[in-house]
Amino acid sequence: MKTSLSCYTIWKRIPKLFPRYSRYLSSPIAAQYEAVIQGQDPLPEYFNFASDVLDKWTQIEKDGKRSSIPALWWVNGRGAEVRWSFEEMGLHSRKVANILIDRCGLRKGDRILVVLSRIPEWWLVIMACIRTGIVAIPATSQVSAKDIEYRLKASGAKCLITTEALRSTVDSVAPQCASLKTKLLVSSDGKQEGWLNFDELLREAPANHTCVKTKMNDPMLVYFTSGTTGAPKMVEHSQGSLGFRPIICQRYERNSLEIPVKIHHSEFIIRSANGRAKLTLSQFPITAFLSTPTLFRILLREDLTSFKFKSLQYCISGGEPISLEVVEEWKNKTGLDIYQLYGQTETGSICSVSKEMKIKPGTMGKALFPYDVQIVDQEANILPPGKEGEIAVRIKPERPLGFFTQYIDAPQKMAATTRGDFFLTGDRGVMDEDGYFRFIGRTDDIIKSSGYRIGPFEVESVLLKHPAVAEVAAVSSPDPVRGEVVKAFVVLSTDYATHNKEKLTTELQEHVKRMTAPYKYPRKVEFVQQLPKSQTGKIQRNELRDQEFGRV
């Protein structure tokens, strides 16, 4: 069970967690790459996860070695359930591949914006894109019209797929997006003008499809990630970084915590955590539970005494720091430890606590193979244990497998994150004598709330469009449930100086919700006479942030 999954993690298996799947690790798939895993052969020139992994596991099933555990098992808490074998997953994804090519006119290298929550169709579209070499751009279903328009224009995506909930939103911006040629709608309600019905096409599409040949460095996915300044940047990952890395790293990570096949609709978990998520954990054979600290905090606010998590063995937290209080309370109420993962959109997981490692409270584990993670100073010199600095990953002389390829159309961003032989994560931390890392905080002003990365520039830009706002600074502020939330310090324009502050707060919050994704709105608003600034007039968000966290 997981609130957000990279496409390859659905199928990763480790014998100690899933004994019935141990045959796959000794199958021709693993044997094919054994020499690479041992470092005897170089990485292959060509790789495609759909043909080289999924289709081969499908053949294993056909040869009579089928396991009772499905490739994908999805529930939504309302009684809906989907269970697909590897063969069924392959069949459906080939049909979707034909839809993208024959009905949407897409070709290898074209881009599609995938605005779907984690419903089963999400995995089919991602896998179909891998089969065809089409580049998928996943986006949260909470995006606003402005977000969709920006992503379409910046990426040049020729196709978009979404659900009925966002159909009118997409239609409102589509005329301004010249690259957009085709719109797919996941809906069983029939035809909508200007849209292709995904469900109908899936029923009619042929099941035969020949997977394209893709090189290790061919683009596979593009993520939009928020930055301190400016609009979100496009982070490109390759077929090798998201598809091949789990295979070559298996030997080195067999004691690491892994993700099961059980998927619960992520939005439904968050909105219905007062019982439904607990029922899912107790009723289904879920062995590992990976989520952001937010969901752990929400669950701890409920009565857990009547629920028995019979199959649950491992709980993993990622996306943002988790407090010691949450870890201790979870242990007391469930008897289970919470292991931590650390990574970024650009890097994937680079640190973790494996199930056989000692848990050190407040740390996020050790560096994962193949990453060389270090704490460095401003000149990229490696700092000794116990010395605070910036968390960095060595990228020279060779860029590690699993790393992102580039920030598309943002060479300045690429240059700013590289210093010496290292990629700078933008996070500060400390490494102890045993190689465990501890997160200190951001070097920039990114706000991490409930697993979302929120750039202050995005929030401030929207607020400045309201006539009441003369100046504004958005920073992170501590929150007992979400870890951090957005807080806006607002200097009012003269005409609004005497307005009711409570009503004005609500008005500004609703304004942000309308203009951008709802999760970005400031849950806290404070009206001030002036903002702290440098001699050059730059707003010093760090002073406001330190004030919020009691560091002044």
Q: What's 358's DSSP letter?
A: P
Q: Which of 261-265, 305-309, 328-332, 501-505 is predicted with the least confidence, judged by mean pLDDT?
A: 261-265
Domain boundary among 237, 255, 273: 237
Residue 481: CATH number of its domain: 3.30.300.30
Q: 352-411 pLDDT, tens per residue?
A: 988 778 888 889 999 988 899 999 999 999 999 999 899 999 999 988 888 999 999 999
- Between CA 368 and CA 376 the distance in angstroms is 18
What confidence score (pLDDT) does residue 57 get?
A: 82
Number of domains within the chain: 2
Say if residue 474's pLDDT is above 80: yes
Do 305 and 16 touch, CB atoms closer than 8 A? no
Q: Does position 140 have pLDDT exceeding 90, yes or no?
A: no
Residue 535 falls inside a structural domain? yes
Please say whether the beta carbons of 473 and 537 come within 8 A.
no
Answer yes or no: is 127 within a domain. Answer: yes
Q: Which residues contact 64 (CB under 8 A, 6 or more apart)?
A: none
What average pLDDT does this structure show over 9-14? Answer: 31
- Angle, helices 324-334 vs 293-300, to 10°: value is 50
CATH number, domain with residue 200: 3.40.50.12780
- Cα(221)–Cα(130) distance, integer angstroms: 9
Q: Say if 180 falls within a structural domain.
A: yes
Q: What share of the chain is helix, strand, coil (3-state, %, to 5)?
A: 35, 25, 40
Domain end marker among 206, 237, 268: 237
- Give the domain-ending residue among 237, 267, 284: 237
pLDDT computed for residue 258 by the predictor? 56
pTM score: 0.79
377 occurs within a structural domain: no
Report the DSSP beta bridge partners of residue 376. Answer: 382, 390
Range of the domain at 462: 447-549
174 - beta bridge partners? none
Q: What is the pLDDT of residue 447?
A: 85
Do 217 and 240 form a contact (C-beta atoms < 8 A)?
A: yes
Write down the H helix ranges in 68-174. Answer: 86-98, 120-132, 145-155, 167-173
pLDDT in tens, 32-42: 566 666 666 77
DSSP E strands in 12-69: the ranges are: none
Please report whether residue 65 resides in a domain.
no
Task: Tell me if 343 is assigned to some domain.
Answer: no
Q: Could you give the 3-state DSSP secondary structure of residue 264?
A: strand
C-alpha distances in Å from residue 189, one per residue of 10, 95, 164, 185, 458: 29, 20, 9, 10, 35
* Residue 71 maps to a domain: no
